[in-house]
Amino acid sequence: MSGESHTCWWAPYALTAEGWRERVLIEVDDAGWIVGLRPGSREEACQTFSGPVLPGMCNVHSHAHQRLIAGLTAYRAADKDSFWSWRESMYRALDLLSPDDLADLSAWLYAELLEGGYTSNGEFHYPHFLGRAAALDSSLALRQGAEQAGCGLTLLPVWYRYSGFGRRAPEPAQARFVLDADDFLSLCHELNVHWASNAVRPSNQRLGIAPHSLRAVAVDDLNELVAAIPKDWPVHLHIAEQTGEVEACLASRGRRPVEDLLDSVAVDSRWCLIHATHITATERSDMLASGAAVGLCPTTEADLGDGLFPAAEWQAEGGRWAIGSDSNVCTSAASELRLLEWGQRLRCQQRNLLLTPPVHLGASLWQQAAAGGAGALAQPAGAIEVGRRADLVELQPNHSLLAGLSPDQQLDTFILAEQPGMINRVLVGGQCRVSQGVHRERERLEPAFVDLRRRLIKAMSQ
Ligand SMILES: [Zn+2]
């Protein structure tokens, strides 16, 4: 497997698809694929990792533009603040953005997410029309952002038509999201043409679709939509984030959202149900039988006061799951995993719930989320094994809390007692994007984002 065009990396420990392996030589070809994996090797003539190496994390659910309002909604806007008042602030931020701004903003966000251990992002993209630009321009801006930061991207253009169940007409602020069926499919077609050409790293870029939610599309239209797109594109949908959404679905359709979806649509393993927060035990077992994955976004769900998904039961039953940074109020993969586990501890009044002994909690959480995320994004990543892209995260073994620990203890500590400086390098397709915890383009990318935030704060104060 060796050849002059290959790069080899040596790691003291690597969390492979079969668990931790020691003294591992990882061979990477010029296109960024892992072509050899040899435990028990010597480090000679290799680039060397000093800390344990993990598969890069896959982030299944991001709305890049929402990074702009991170931290800016921490005041009470009404008698009882909720998701719905937060959404008003987010709509205001969109008034400011052009596609060029979105390219700058997403490049910065994806750089921050790389620093947080995410090597691929699923962008659930619904603000299609920014300023007077065409819908295609905002999608291409996100691709440009991902290329600048050097991460994997699965762009999930969103189909959004209505403001509520029963095909309610969209509100004026939602006009920038709305596409009819023909326009949505022609956008998908145009994106497919662009994605097939002109990508810096073709393997980093994937496409899927995202019917927004059963509020914003009619469930009866979904079979036809899914039949019209390529068979290998993933399908993501917000399903049951809010109790208000469940009540509205019951009132309009006589069924809860998950029931309604599974009764009406041929859901299978291509599907990722985002925020399946409010479900019954029957819905849970029907979701499991469908083969769909769930996309959990613990910090955003906490920030928005959504509720807790029954992850402990889902995991025990063998359900696939992944994590998402969603509103990007937080850009650390370890923080999402920690809050996911802690939420279940608070719910069940037990500890160490999201693991299968004897695997440690950290390794169990990280591997399940990385592999589940890669599947949900159709990214050839999420595990350290031959045939996958060399997306790797190296911990910093000299950090005061990690020094002297076994690799399992280092990963447990990184997730449960995370501190700045615990990630050393992050590679995507064998190329180093983050070193000593800092994205290599951080200084270049930061000013445009800071300018945008200043513009937003000024607009909010007027
Ligand atoms: Zn979302």
316 plus 426 within the same structural domain = no
- Name the nearest CA neighbour of 138 among 207, 187, 70, 200: 187
220 catalytic per annotation: no
Determine, yes or no, domain membership for 293: yes
pLDDT of residue 85: 64
Residue pair 88/439 in contact (Cβ under 8 Å)? The answer is no
CA of 405 to the centre of ligand 1 (A): 37
Q: Into how many domains does the chain fold? A: 2
Residue ending a domain, among 377, 411, 433, is 377
CATH for 17: 2.30.40.10
Specify whether 178 is located in the same domain as 70. yes
Series of mean pLDDT values for 10-residue runs along the chain (462 residues): 72 96 96 95 91 98 95 70 67 89 98 98 97 95 96 98 95 92 97 81 87 96 96 96 92 96 97 96 97 97 92 96 97 98 96 91 97 97 97 98 98 98 97 98 98 89 75
Cβ atoms of residues 373 and 391 within 8 Å: no
Residue 305 burial (C-beta neighbours within 10 Å; 0-12, 13-18, 19+): exposed
pLDDT at position 199: 58
| Ligand 1 center–CA 327 separation, angstroms | 7
Q: Are residues 41 and 168 in the same domain?
A: no
Domain assignment present for 461: no
Predicted confidence at residue 3, as pLDDT, reads 45
Separation of 227 CA from ligand 1 center, angstroms? 23
Tokens describing residue 280: 């019954």
Return the CATH number at 63.
Answer: 3.20.20.140
Q: Rounded distance, CA 149 to CA 444, Å?
A: 11
For the beta carbon of residue 391, count every other beta carbon within 10 angstroms: 33
49 lies in the same domain as 65: no
421 & 333 share domain: no
Query: CA-CA distance, 4 to 338, in Å (whole number)?
Result: 42
Instruction: Say yes or no: 40 and 151 in one domain.
Output: no
Domain membership of residue 221 (yes or no) is yes
Residue 243 in any domain: the answer is yes
The vertex-334 CA angle with 453 and 391, nearest 5°, equals 90
Examine residue 301 and state whether it is found in any structural domain, yes or no.
yes
d(CA 293, CA 330): 22
- How many Å apart are CA 7 and CA 30, to the nearest integer? 8
Centre of ligand 1 from the C-alpha of residue 117, in Å? 20
pLDDT digits (tens, 9 = 90+) for 296-344: 999 999 988 889 999 999 999 999 999 999 999 999 999 999 999 999 9
On whether the CB atoms of residues 359 and 19 are closer than 8 A, the answer is: yes
Question: Ligand 1 centroid to 457 CA: how many Å?
Answer: 23
Ligand 1 centroid distance, CA of 216 (Å): 13
Distance 275 CA to ligand 1 centre (A): 8
454 falls within a domain: no
Please tell me the predicted confidence (pLDDT) of residue 198: 63
Of 354, 377, 400, which one is at a domain's C-terminal end? 377
Q: Tell me: do 17 and 96 sit in the same domain.
A: no
323 and 407 belong to one structural domain: no
* 275 annotated active-site: yes
Cα(163) to ligand 1 centroid in Å equals 15
Which of these is catalytic: 101, 286, 326, 412?
326
Same domain, 46 and 160: no
User: Does residue 306 sit in the same domain as residue 398?
Assistant: no
270 lies in some domain: yes
Residues 46 and 62 in one domain: no
Which residues are CB-contacts of 301 (< 8 A; sequence separation ≥ 6)?
A: 241, 275, 277, 307, 308, 309, 326
Ligand 1 centre distance from Cα of residue 337 (Å): 18
Q: Are residues 47 and 63 in the same domain?
A: no
* Residues 6+ away with beta carbon under 8 Å from 422: 334, 395, 396, 399, 401, 402, 413, 414, 437
**Which of the residues 65, 275, 278, 399 is marked catalytic?**
275
Give the separation between CA 413 and CA 433, rounded to whole angstroms: 24
Task: Look up the domain containing 421 and give its range.
Answer: 7-54+388-442
Residue 27: strand pairing partners: 8, 36
Distance CA 289, CA 92 (A): 40
- Specify which residues 326 forms β-bridges with: 62
Residue 129 · residue 135 · CB < 8 Å: yes
Last residue in a domain, options 342, 377, 412? 377
Look up tokens 């002059």; give the residue: 4
In a domain, 166, yes or no: yes
User: Token pair 């809050």 is at which residue?
Assistant: 339
For 116, residues 6+ apart whose C-beta sits below 8 A from its C-beta are 325, 331, 332, 333, 334, 335, 423
Q: Ligand 1 centroid to 407 CA: how many Å?
A: 34
d(CA 137, CA 219): 28
